[in-house]
């Protein structure tokens, strides 16, 4: 049974540190996969309007039979829906697809600085939180300069910043800045989309603990206090990814994993949009 600890958020709520990612999980397998992951002990699902599977995430939640308050659900407003009124409408549509009255965490998916609408979008998230339609509000792919603008204009800081983060691109400065501001960092593409799992250093560390390279990388995120939700279409792999609470990495392991830092992203640089 997967028993992820909860990480406190600055608004008084908390989030399970390990969850299930659903980007590129085809809609036709999503409901069964989400229900299976919840049966295996996961209590946190990360989706987005963009992923085209919110309806099926909702089906999986209901099929699990779990109480609503026992599962943490994140979704995100997509770039085309930024703006105050547009975001309120996009939220209604996401909530309807999910079949939920209230979402645990609602994020601005990307800042898109060139469109300059993320501030109005943030004001809509603040409104949704005031109306108790979302418990917590946060951002994704935001840099300190964008977060400072939200704070300066609205007085409300996001509780999380969800960014690309993995051993090849560990984002140490951003994590430090977020921590100093009480913002929890969430790692997207935590396994670098599978691209770094054949690194010999991971195989060596994994062999020492009787674990797999993916489990070592997930443990690396957890040890750093990050919130993480690896994606897999395989329930066996999701179970493997959740079997990470019976070991921790030592300082030497972390130093060796640090050698994988090449500064390479798998996705685009959000500051350049
Ligand atoms: N906010 C954003 O802009 C943003 C962007 C990207 C992602 N995300 C979120 O972050 C989540 C995770 O990121 P991601 O899906 O891009 O990448 P990821 O979790 O780093 O990697 C997923 C890949 O790793 C493979 N994999 C998973 N578990 C494995 C294991 N135990 N052994 C070997 N391979 C394994 C999967 O293959 P199989 O599926 O074939 O098992 C898939 O190809 C997303 O699903 C989404 O919820 C957010």
Q: What is the CATH number of the domain that holds 100?
A: 3.20.20.100
Atom number, ligand 1, closest to the C-alpha of residue 241: 31
Quote the ligand 1 centre to 258 CA distance (angstroms). 21
More confident residue, 18 or 272: 18
How many Å apart are CA 119 and CA 235, to the nearest integer? 39
Atom number, ligand 1, closest to the C-alpha of residue 213: 32
Supply the pLDDT for residue 3: 86
Sign of CA dihedral 47, 48, 49, 51: negative
Residue 271 falls within a domain, yes or no? no
Q: Is the pLDDT of residue 119 over 90?
A: yes
Sign of CA dihedral 223, 110, 105, 194: negative
Residues 174-201 have a mean pLDDT of 97
Residue 273 falls within a domain, yes or no? no
Q: 234 CB under 6 A from ligand 1?
A: yes
* Catalytically annotated residues: 51
Confidence tier at 211 by pLDDT (50, 70, 90): very high
Q: Is the pLDDT of residue 154 over 80?
A: yes
Residue 90 falls within a domain, yes or no? yes
Atom number, ligand 1, closest to the C-alpha of residue 22: 45
Supply the pLDDT for residue 252: 98
Atom number, ligand 1, closest to the C-alpha of residue 48: 47
Quote the ligand 1 centre to 225 CA distance (angstroms). 19
- The answer to whether 92 and 102 are in contact (CB under 8 A) is no
The two structure tokens encoding residue 111: 């800042």
Confidence tier at 189 by pLDDT (50, 70, 90): very high
Domain assignment of residue 29, given as a range: 6-265
| Nearest one of 55, 112, 66, 134 to 273, comparing CA atoms | 112
Mean pLDDT over each residue of the chain, to the nearest integer: 97
Quote the ligand 1 centre to 155 CA distance (angstroms). 34
Place of tokens 């943030």: 122
Residue 217 falls within a domain, yes or no? yes
- The answer to whether 185 and 15 are in contact (CB under 8 A) is no
Q: 187 CB under 6 A from ligand 1?
A: no
Residue 22 falls within a domain, yes or no? yes
Confidence tier at 218 by pLDDT (50, 70, 90): very high
Supply the pLDDT for residue 43: 98
Q: Is the pLDDT of residue 1 over 80?
A: no
Residue 140 falls within a domain, yes or no? yes
pLDDT tens-digit readout, 2-42: 889 999 999 999 999 999 999 999 999 999 999 999 999 99
Quote the ligand 1 centre to 69 CA distance (angstroms). 25
Supply the pLDDT for residue 2: 83
Residue 1 falls within a domain, yes or no? no
The two structure tokens encoding residue 223: 């040890």
Q: 51 CB under 6 A from ligand 1?
A: no
Residues 263-268 have a mean pLDDT of 94
Residue 82 falls within a domain, yes or no? yes
The two structure tokens encoding residue 263: 């500064």
Strand partners, 108: 77, 139
Query: pTM of the full predicted structure?
Result: 0.98
Residue to mutate, 230, 239, 270, ligand 1, most ligand atoms under 8 Å from C-beta:
230
Confidence tier at 250 by pLDDT (50, 70, 90): very high
Q: How many domains does the chain have?
A: 1
Residues 76-102 have a mean pLDDT of 98
Q: Is the pLDDT of residue 138 over 80?
A: yes
Can you spell out the DSSP letters for 74-114? EEEE-GGG-SHHHHHHHHHHHHHHHT-S-EEEEEES---TT
């Amino acid at each position: 049974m997967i028993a992820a600890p909860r990480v406190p958020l600055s608004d008084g709520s908390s989030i399970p540190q390990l969850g299930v990612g659903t980007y590129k999980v085809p809609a036709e397998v999503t409901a069964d996969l989400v229900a299976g992951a919840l049966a295996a002990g996961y209590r946190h699902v990360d989706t987005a309007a963009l992923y085209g599977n919110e309806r099926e995430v909702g089906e999986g939640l209901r099929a699990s039979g779990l109480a609503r308050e026992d599962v943490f659900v994140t979704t995100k407003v997509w770039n085309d829906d930024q703006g105050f009124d547009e975001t309120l409408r996009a939220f209604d549509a996401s909530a309807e697809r999910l079949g939920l009255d209230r979402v645990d965490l609602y994020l601005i998916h990307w800042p898109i600085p060139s469109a300059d609408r993320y501030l109005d979008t943030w004001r809509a998230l603040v409104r949704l939180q005031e109306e108790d339609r979302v418990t917590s509000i946060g951002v994704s792919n935001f840099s300190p300069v964008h977060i400072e603008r939200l704070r300066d204009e609205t007085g409300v800081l996001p509780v999380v910043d969800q960014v690309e983060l993995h051993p090849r691109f560990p984002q140490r400065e951003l994590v430090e800045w977020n921590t100093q501001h009480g913002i929890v960092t969430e790692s997207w593409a935590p396994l670098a989309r599978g691209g770094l799992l054949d690194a010999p250093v991971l195989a060596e560390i994994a062999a020492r603990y009787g674990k797999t390279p993916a489990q070592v990388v997930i443990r690396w995120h957890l040890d750093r206090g990050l919130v993480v939700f690896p994606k897999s279409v395989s329930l066996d792999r999701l179970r493997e990814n959740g079997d990470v609470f019976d070991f921790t990495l030592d300082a030497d392991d972390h130093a060796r994993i640090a050698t994988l830092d090449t500064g390479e992203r798998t996705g685009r640089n959000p500051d350049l949009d």
